[in-house]
Structure 1
Amino acid sequence: MGHQRLGRMPAYRSLPEIIRYIVDGGIPTEAVADQITEFGREALKFALKDDVFIEALWLLIRLPQAAAAKDSPKSLGEIGIDGATPSSVSEILFQYDNAVERVQRRIHQGNTDLGEIARRAGLSALAEGMQSNLPSLWSPSANDVRASLAGLKGTHKFAALAQTFYANFVERVIHYYVDRNLHNMVGPGRIAHSVHDLESFDSAVRRHCNEAALIMRTFARDWLGKNHYRDGRAISRVDARAFSSHAVEKITTELALRRGKT
C-alpha cells in the first residue's frame, strides 16, 4: 500500500486507549466515539494535503451528477470517466478506480498511504450507495444501474455517501496502524488477550466509526445544497478540498461542544 509511509500521526497515541476501551468494555460509548472522532479529525487534516484523497472525494460528488446529466457520456468524459455511460456496478467501480489511480500515477513522488486508503474507502462507499438504490427482487438492467448512480446526486444521498466515505476512511486508517502492530497487542497482559478480542474489535470499531461520522451528514447535505443546487456551482477539486477543510473545523467544534469547551 503506497511507498511513502504516514509515520505516526499526532492522534496515534490514542489508539491503545481506543482498543482498550472496545476490548475491555465498561467505558461509555460516547467516550469511544469521541476518541475515534478525534483520531479521524487528525487523519482528515493530513489527508487535506493528499491530491489522491481529494480526487476520491471529488469523484463521489461529480460522478452521480455526470451520470444524471442530459449528455451523460460527455459529462462523464469531462471528469475523466472514459466511454459511454457504464452499464453495470462493477464497470462503474472500475471506472472510478481507474480515475483515482491515474492521479496516483501522475503524482507518484508525492503519494502517501492516505491516498490509497481514500481510494479504497471511496470504492466501498460508492458500491454501498449504488446497491442501496438497486432493485432487490430482480437482476438490475443497465438502466437500473445508471439510475442508481444518478440517484446519488441529491443532497441527502450525498450526505450518506460522505458519512460512509469518512467512516470507511477512518476505520482503514485505524487498521493501518493496528494491523502493523498486532504482534504487540495480543497475549497475556496485553491490550487484546486473544485473536477473538481482535475480531470483536473489528466489528466494534466499524460501529463507532459510523457513529463518529454522523456529524458529517447534516454538514455535507447543507454544503452541497448551498454550493451546487442554490449557487449553481460545478463542484471543483478546490471546492472538495474546501469541503474537507470545513469538515475538520466542524468536527473540532463538535468535539469541543461535547467536552464543554465552548
Structure 2
Amino acid sequence: MGHQRLGKMPAYRLLPEIIRYIVDGGIPTEAVADQITEFGREALKFALKDDVFIEALWLLIRLPQASAAKDASRALAEIGINGAKPASVSDLLFQYDSAVERVQRRIHQGNTDLGEIARRAGLSALAEGMQSNLPSLWSPGADDVRASLASLRGTEKFAALAQSFYANFVERVIHYYVDRNLHNMIGPGRIARSVHDIETFDGAVRRHCNESALIMRTFARDWLGKNHYRDGKAISRADTRAFSSHAVEKIRTELALRKGKA
C-alpha cells in the first residue's frame, strides 16, 4: 500500500497527542480518547468522497440480500459478483475483494489509500460476520456458506457489520500513520519504552474504536429496516453514501450528548 496517495488528512493534527500518551503508558486519558474519536470522524468524512470506500460498504449491504434472493446467481451478478458458487468463506471473500478491486482499477486516478483501507476493513467485517454464523461441529459446505451470508441481510446483523466496518476502518487509519513510525517509537528515551507499551496502545485504540462505532448500531438497524424492508428500496451507492454521512454525524452527536456538550 503506497503511503503518499492519502496525503496529510485534516485529522493528522491530532496524532501527536494520541501517540504521546504512550510515554506514560496505561489507559488513555479522556482527552486522548476524544481525540481518537475526532480523528476517526474526520477520516470517515474524508472517506465519503472515495468511491472505493462506498463500494466496500455498499457490498456489505447488498451481498447478503443478493445471496438470499430466489435467483441468487442473477442477483449477485447485478451487483458485480460473478463466478462460481462459493464453496468456502475464502471463495466468498475473494469474490468480494475482486469486486471492490475492480472499482479501484476503474477509478485509478482518483484512488486514495482510504479506499484500500476500506477494502480491508470490509473484508474483515465480512469474514467476522460469516464465521459467527457457520456450523462449528462440521466443515461448512457451499450451502452453509450461502446460508451464513444470507443470514447477514437482517437489520441486526447489518448493524453489527456496520459497527465492525467503521471500527476496523478507523483503527486501520490510525495504524496507517503509526505503524510506519514504530522504529522511531520504541526504545530507551523514546516515546514507547517497550513493545508492551505499543500493545497497550493497540488494545486501547481497538476498544475505543469499537465503543465509538457501537453508538451508531441502532441507527444502522433502523435505517436498513426503514429503507429496505419497509419502503422496499434496493439500496444504491448514493443511499450508502448518505447513510455513512449520517452515521458519522450520529457518532459525533451522541458522543457530545453523553458529555453534555450538544
Alignment-derived partner of residue 91 in structure 2: 91
CA deviation map 1:99-125 (0-9, x unaligned): 000000000000000000000000010
In 1, are the aligned partners of 2:85 and 2:142 still within 8 Å (CA)? no
How big is the shift at 1:212? 1.5
- Which amino acid in 1 is paired with 2:103? V
Q: Which moved more, 1:86-95 or 1:152-161?
A: 86-95
- Which amino acid in 1 is paired with 2:176? Y
CA separation of 1:33 and 1:70: change in aligned 2, threshold 3 A: farther
Q: Give the TM-score of the pair, scaled to structure 1.
A: 0.93
CA separation of 1:84 and 1:27: change in aligned 2, threshold 3 A: closer
In 2, are the aligned partners of 1:16 and 1:191 still within 8 Å (CA)? no
How big is the shift at 1:84? 4.0
CA deviation map 1:203-259 (0-9, x unaligned): 222222111211121111111111101111000000110111111221221232233
Listed as ranges, the matches of 1:90-169 within 5 Å are: 90-169=90-169
Listed as ranges, the matches of 1:230-241 within 5 Å are: 230-241=230-241
**Can you give the 5+ residue segments of structure 1 that lack an aligned partner in the other structure?**
none
How far apart in 2 are the matches of 1:176 and 1:102?
23
Alignment-derived partner of residue 45 in structure 1: 45
Q: Which moved more, 1:159-168 or 1:84-93?
A: 84-93
Listed as ranges, the matches of 1:218-257 within 5 Å are: 218-257=218-257
CA separation of 1:19 and 1:153: change in aligned 2, threshold 3 A: same
How big is the shift at 1:137? 1.3
How far apart in 2 are the matches of 1:142 and 1:49?
36
Alignment-derived partner of residue 195 in structure 2: 195
How big is the shift at 1:196? 2.4
How big is the shift at 1:188? 3.4
**Can you give the 5+ residue segments of structure 2 that lack an aligned partner in the other structure?**
none
Alignment-derived partner of residue 26 in structure 2: 25
Identity among equivalent pairs (%)? 86
- Which amino acid in 1 is paired with 2:26? G
How far apart in 1 are the matches of 2:106 and 2:100?
10
Number of residue pairs aligned between Structure 1 and Structure 2: 261
- Which amino acid in 1 is paired with 2:157? K
How far apart in 1 are the matches of 2:218 and 2:227?
14
Alignment-derived partner of residue 181 in structure 2: 181
Alignment-derived partner of residue 80 in structure 2: 80
In 2, are the aligned partners of 1:2 and 1:111 still within 8 Å (CA)? no
How far apart in 1 are the matches of 2:231 and 2:163?
23
How far apart in 2 are the matches of 1:7 and 1:143?
44
Q: Which moved more, 1:4-13 or 1:45-54?
A: 4-13
CA deviation map 1:37-87 (0-9, x unaligned): 211100001100000000000000000000000100000000000034322
In 2, are the aligned partners of 1:168 and 1:209 still within 8 Å (CA)? yes
CA separation of 1:226 and 1:178: change in aligned 2, threshold 3 A: same
